[in-house]
Amino acid sequence: MPTPGHILLEAAATLITLGGLYDLLTPRLPPNLVAQCRGDAQSIRLARELLRALGGALTAIGIAVAILGMAAHPHLTRQSALLILALVLPAEGINSLCMYRVGSPFYIPLAFALLTLAGVLLSWPLPT
């Protein structure tokens, strides 16, 4: 039976993957980013491609966290926990900061990072 920590980790992995797929597959740049580009077609294309690259990276991170979480069942190892944190916290932390700076809903990637942190803390391996 999965522990609460594993449930949170798998939820975070799923949400990170879905968020990455959204960035990767969204057909148009969000309106707030179009406004930041001031209608310049080259700037819009550049921002769209950078968003697509970010989406690919976040999708890969989400899948990696899901695999690490599933492979660590029933007990998360210290190495797996640290690797999950090393993957998610910088990626979603910087994503959140950059989204804040351009007026996007930064609280979504911040919530994903906090959900991951909570999952790792609840799954942290106890000394044997």
Instruction: Tell me if 10 sits within 8 A of 66, measured CB to CB.
Output: yes
The beta strands (E) that lie in the chain are given as: none
The fraction of the chain above a pLDDT of 90, given in percent, is 76
Cα gap 77→85, rounded to integer Å: 12
Instruction: Tell me if 62 sits within 8 A of 17, measured CB to CB.
Output: yes
**Which pLDDT belongs to residue 87?**
97
- pLDDT of 127 over the 70 cut: no
Q: What is the pLDDT of residues 50-102, one digit of tens each?
A: 999 999 999 999 999 999 988 877 778 899 999 999 999 999 999 999 999 99
Cα gap 61→118, rounded to integer Å: 17
Tokens at residue 99, please?
A: 């989204």
Domain ranges of the chain: 4-119
